[in-house]
Amino acid sequence: MTVSRQNGLTESQAKVLKTVSDFIAENGYSPTAKEISEILNITQTSVFEQLERLEKKRYITRQKGAARTIGILNQPENEKPVKKSDSVKLVKVPIIGTIAAGAPIFADENMEGEILVDESNIGKGRFFALRVRGDSMINAGINNGDLVIIKRQPLAENGDIIAALIDSEATLKRLSLSNDEVFLLPENEKYSPINVTCREDFKILGKMVTTVTVL
């Protein structure tokens, strides 16, 4: 493979990116640095260097200090993952802006990239990913910096964790329907419920189906 000037990748970076993408497609989870080094017959030091550069160029995302946490954010159009198992089907989910898990903040609609997700983990439908800021959902296992995968739907059931708009600001909370009242509940005692019963500026964007832990 030659240097990819169009996509801003060197030959080494492109090889590492393709190896990670193919490995995820085949196994359903990301490889370790040791596995990448063995596949490409290069040192682990070289692997770490290439992964760091791919992360800076926003082709991948990682969680430092943990194995098998590489996520694909983007990849060259001419590089498709080699899927060797029919049981794994990866779908591209666009990463759109940032969502608040604390005091609501405006969700930027500019797409940041894409992440590959196993379809068996999210099901059928239209999806998008939002990046969490804040700690109001930590008791639900949703931490600052996580990516949440949202299924687009205008309705949700009592107890669902939803992405919602309030006065054009996005937030992630648990939906509570009780006694003809609608509340958005945090999962952290430091925050108070938000009553949206009579708010015309309240809109459900979708239901959270899973999270992806990243930096």
Catalytic residues: 136, 173
> In Å, how far from its chain's centre is CA 208?
11
